[in-house]
Amino acid sequence: MLVSTKQLLLDAQKGKYAVPAFNVHNMETIQTVVEAAAELRSPIIVAATPGTMKYAGPEFFIKIVEVCSNKYDIPIAMHLDHHESFDDIAHAIQLGSKSAMIDASHYDLEENIRRVKEVVDYAHRYDVTVEGELGVLGGQEDDLIRDAKDSKYTNPAQAKEYVEKTGIDSLAVAIGTAHGMYKEEPKLDFDRLAEIRAVVDIPLVLHGASGLPAEQVKKAIELGITKVNIATELKMPFAAKLREVLNANPEESDPRKYFGPAKEVMKKVAMEKILMCGSNGKA
């Protein structure tokens, strides 16, 4: 049975570890991350963006994750990542999804609150947990001056108000991470994270974890991050292996021969990320 992220993240908060949220796109990659989690006895969040849902078809994607949740005795959540449309979220909830992010972070605070609260009110009727985001991710600039940081990064006082007014179950914070890999090693604003943690008591979420040194992720977990989102670092080895196998065997047409090795290398990365999150042995 698919679970919501409520208990998963509260347990992680108590146990001072994080649950990995892996962005994947099809049956092969869903199976890969779930197998990694099952082997390490880790709870896992399988995440899909609207683009992935459009590619795979929400009924297919959600059903495959649900099948995994019935096959393995670890907690598995099916999470709607960076969704922006109320209708898409409502549709996926009706299909069985129990966890959703409504991303209205590019709107001003008032509109962000309005859009998120609308989803929270609907989702909570179905025991579905909701993640909101305050602050702007990406465009990591090392020389960002304090004022610029204040306008882009999550403001702790605003975060408190945002959580209270929306009723969200978890909060994605902007503390210097970006989606994709980094040109230079990012410097996360740990002081800001600690300030947010001091005034907000719900689980906190770190987006853009690909490319972050493990020590930085671990420090963020110590300071209250309970969900770590990973997309790019899973895709890259899968694609690289696929390319390698197909280039080395231009005549090969059997999907089992090229997806198999690609799954293997992705699984290794997923296992490393689970160990980084400290969620192994928690299921």
Point out the residues that are catalytic: 81
DSSP 202: S
Restricting to residues 40-69, name those near Zn ion by CB under 5 A. Answer: none
Q: Footprint of ligand 13P on residues 121-160 (CB under 6 A)?
A: none
- Rule CB under 5 A: is residue 267 a binding residue for Zn ion? no
Q: Which is nearer to ligand 13P, 23 or 155 (CB)?
A: 23
Q: Which is nearer to Na ion, 132 or 211 (CB)?
A: 211
Please report how close the Cβ of residue 249 comes to Zn ion at its closest, in angstroms.
35
* Binding piece for Na ion, criterion CB under 5 A, among 16-24, 97-105, 209-217, 255-263: 209-217
Which residue of this chain has its Cβ atom nearest to ligand 13P in the complex? Answer: 210
179 binding ligand 13P? (CB under 6 A): yes
Among residues 207 and 263, whose Cβ is nearest to Zn ion?
207
Residues in region 221-280 near ligand 13P by CB under 6 A: 229-233
Contacts of 250 (CB under 8 A, 6+ apart): none
Is residue 18 within 8 A of residue 224, CB to CB? The reply is no
52 binds ligand 13P (CB under 6 A): no
**Within 201-230, which residues bind Zn ion (CB under 5 A)?**
207, 229
Beta strands in the chain (DSSP E): 19-23, 44-48, 76-83, 99-102, 129-134, 170-173, 204-206, 225-230
Contacts of 103 (CB under 8 A, 6+ apart): 82, 83, 84, 132, 133, 172
Check residue 35 and report its DSSP letter: H
**Region of residue 76 (phi > 0: left; psi between -120 and 50: alpha; otherwise: beta):** beta
Residue 208 interacts with ligand 13P (CB under 6 A)? yes
- Cα–Cα distance, 56 to 72 (Å, whole number): 22
Distance CA 105, CA 103 (A): 5
Query: How many whole angstroms separate alpha carbon 189 and alpha carbon 30?
Result: 32
Adjacent-strand bridge partners of 170: 131
In the complex, the smallest distance separating the C-beta of residue 180 from Na ion, rounded to whole angstroms, is: 5
CB of 208 to ligand 13P, least distance (A): 4
Angle among Cα 16, 82, 241 to the nearest 5 degrees reads: 80
117 binds, among ligand 13P, Zn ion, Na ion, none (CB under 5 to 8 A by kind): none
Give least dist CB 225 to Na ion, A.
14
The answer to the question of residue 25 lying near Zn ion (CB under 5 A) is no
Measured distance CA(223)–CA(279) in Å, rounded: 16
269 binds, among Zn ion, Na ion, ligand 13P, none (CB under 5 to 8 A by kind): none
Annotated binding site for Zn(2+): 82, 103, 133, 179, 207
Binding residues vs ligand 13P (CB under 6 A): 23, 81-82, 179-180, 207-210, 229-233
Annotated binding site for dihydroxyacetone phosphate: 180, 208-210, 229-232
